[in-house]
């Protein structure tokens, strides 16, 4: 087993690292996850995505005919790692790049690929995911948003909820019920909806972080061309799962966890308990050791996934493991930081005595959301048990 990157790959890493040092937006965008709600942020981060794309660092493995470079998946992994290490701002087109784009490459018509993929790459069109509905989250197949076929169009009525980024989105990839009489997994279709269509209302929901990151979306007789169907009519469940696969992979990043662990370590070296640094405290050291072991296990897990990708092996439950372990680990890292800070963890970011620039309270709240979004931990465990361990189905 050789876990080292080749010389050419290491040179590529240095190139992207230098690019980020020289080009990372210096101010106004914020690093990491916060502040993704105002229009000024959107415009600046779209410009950032465009620059990254034009410099050759977005979706490197996508086919050339749709604007990609058809490079080895290792190159994309290196870019992702370096972006996390540099604390680069999140890309506004993340849902398009990470979820819809790869789905369309496998399932879209030629016309859909040529129409949508290039604008996903440049960030010109922002996408959101219309899956969840009130009463249909974990049990997604029970969704009720109805699309009737009238002539050459679908006419959509119903409601989605928890739709991240819908307030900025130009387009939505959406699950709708097209055959209400079929068994629940069979009467669903996967369609692409223009968010500027008449009949769409977007209402923001405020998260516990204070961000207006996700929304309710209402459809009142929204007309969608039939050519916006992805996959076959009433067989959208299989396309929906392809997207979920990409989403779950996106949510757990080993490099991100490693970065957070290093930040936690630096914080706890500065915090004193009983006259000594917390890192000298026998009980807390055990906790840090446990977290570091989990971070390291994530790193090996992601290398295994990368090997599968390079060798063209179909992934099994690895993506669910990635999502389950990665999101829980990030929340546990933040919980350890909050407990280490004690009363200081209650301070607002602006307070003069706040520790580590107020990073952890936000991270603690945000990371809890990711344990739920994209399918809760319980659901990932059910799938791993049923598909991976071949255990009987849960009732």
Ligand X SMILES: Cc1cc2nc3c(=O)[nH]c(=O)nc-3n(C[C@H](O)[C@H](O)[C@H](O)COP(=O)(O)OP(=O)(O)OC[C@H]3O[C@@H](n4cnc5c(N)ncnc54)[C@H](O)[C@@H]3O)c2cc1C
Query: What is the contact surface with ligand X in residues (CB under 6 A)?
Result: 128-132, 137-138, 162-164, 214, 369, 372-376, 378-379, 382, 394
Q: How far is the CB of 237 from ligand X (least distance, A)?
A: 15
Alpha helices in 158-281 (DSSP H): 236-251, 254-270
342: left (phi over 0), alpha (psi -120 to 50) or beta: left
Angle between helices 254-270 and 73-85 (to 10 degrees): 20
DSSP one-letter string for 66-125: GT-----HHHHHHHHHHHHHTTPBPPTTHHIIIIIHHHHHHHS-HHHHHHHHHHHHHTSS
Nearer to ligand X, 59 or 161 (CB): 161
Rounded CA-CA distance 285/319 in Å is 30
Q: Are 253 and 324 in contact (CB under 8 A)?
A: no
Catalytic entry in 133, 247, 258, 363: 247
Q: How far is the CB of 126 from ligand X (least distance, A)?
A: 12
Backbone angles phi, psi at 379, to 5 degrees: -70, -40
CB-based burial label for 3 (10 Å; 0-12, 13-18, 19+):
exposed
Nearer to ligand X, 57 or 131 (CB): 131
Closest to 190 in 3D by CA, of 114, 129, 142, 102: 129
> Other C-beta atoms within 10 Å of 134: how many?
12
Q: Are 375 and 248 in contact (CB under 8 A)?
A: yes
Q: How far is the CB of 130 from ligand X (least distance, A)?
A: 6
Q: How far is the CB of 192 from ligand X (least distance, A)?
A: 15
Nearer to ligand X, 16 or 251 (CB): 251
Token pair in block for residue 240: 């929906």
Nearer to ligand X, 236 or 369 (CB): 369
Three-state DSSP class for residue 158: strand
Q: How far is the CB of 265 from ligand X (least distance, A)?
A: 27
Nearer to ligand X, 58 or 240 (CB): 240
Q: How far is the CB of 293 from ligand X (least distance, A)?
A: 26
Residue number with the shortest CB distance to ligand X?
137
Is 247 annotated in the active site? Answer: yes
Place of tokens 């009980």: 283
Nearer to ligand X, 145 or 259 (CB): 145
The β-bridge partners of 277 are 272
CA neighbours closer than 13 Å in the CB half-sphere of residue 107: 26
Nearer to ligand X, 6 or 394 (CB): 394
CB-based burial label for 163 (10 Å; 0-12, 13-18, 19+):
buried
Q: How far is the CB of 386 from ligand X (least distance, A)?
A: 11
The set of catalytic residues is 247
């Amino acid at each position: 087993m050789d876990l080292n990157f080749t010389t050419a790959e290491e040179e590529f890493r240095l190139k992207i690292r230098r690019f980020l040092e020289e080009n990372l937006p210096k101010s106004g965008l914020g690093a990491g996850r916060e502040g993704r709600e105002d229009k000024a942020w959107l415009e600046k981060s779209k410009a950032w995505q465009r620059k990254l794309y034009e410099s050759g660092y977005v979706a490197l493995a996508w086919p050339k005919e749709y604007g990609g470079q058809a490079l080895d998946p290792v190159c994309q992994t290196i870019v992702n790692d370096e972006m996390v290490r540099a604390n680069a701002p999140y890309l506004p087109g993340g849902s398009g790049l990470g979820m819809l784009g790869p789905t369309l490459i496998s399932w879209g018509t030629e016309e859909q690929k040529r129409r949508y993929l290039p604008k996903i790459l440049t960030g010109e069109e922002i996408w959101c995911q219309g899956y969840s509905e009130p009463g249909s989250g974990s049990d997604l197949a029970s969704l009720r948003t109805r699309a009737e076929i009238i002539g050459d169009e679908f006419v959509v009525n119903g409601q989605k909820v928890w739709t991240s980024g819908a307030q900025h989105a130009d387009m939505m990839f959406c699950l709708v019920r097209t055959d209400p009489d079929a068994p629940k997994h069979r009467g669903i279709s996967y369609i692409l909806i223009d968010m500027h269509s008449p009949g769409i209302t977007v209402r923001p929901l405020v998260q516990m972080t204070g961000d207006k990151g996700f929304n309710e979306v209402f459809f009142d007789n929204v007309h969608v061309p039939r050519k916006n169907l992805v996959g076959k009519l009433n067989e959208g469940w299989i396309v929906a799962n392809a997207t979920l696969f990409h989403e779950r992979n996106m949510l757990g990043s080993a490099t991100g966890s490693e970065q957070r662990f290093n930040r936690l370590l630096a914080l706890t070296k500065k915090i004193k308990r009983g006259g000594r640094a917390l890192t000298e405290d026998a009980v807390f050291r055990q906790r840090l050791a446990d977290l570091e072991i989990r971070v390291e296990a994530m790193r090996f897990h992601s290398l295994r996934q990368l090997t599968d990708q390079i060798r063209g092996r179909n992934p099994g439950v690895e993506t669910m493991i990635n999502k389950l372990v990665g999101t829980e680990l990030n929340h546990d890292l933040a919980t350890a930081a909050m407990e280490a800070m004690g009363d200081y963890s209650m301070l607002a970011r602006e307070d003069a005595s706040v520790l580590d620039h107020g990073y952890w309270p936000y991270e603690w709240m945000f990371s809890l959301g990711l344990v739920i979004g994209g399918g809760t931990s319980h659901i990932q465990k059910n799938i791993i048990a049923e598909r991976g361990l071949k255990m009987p189905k849960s009732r």
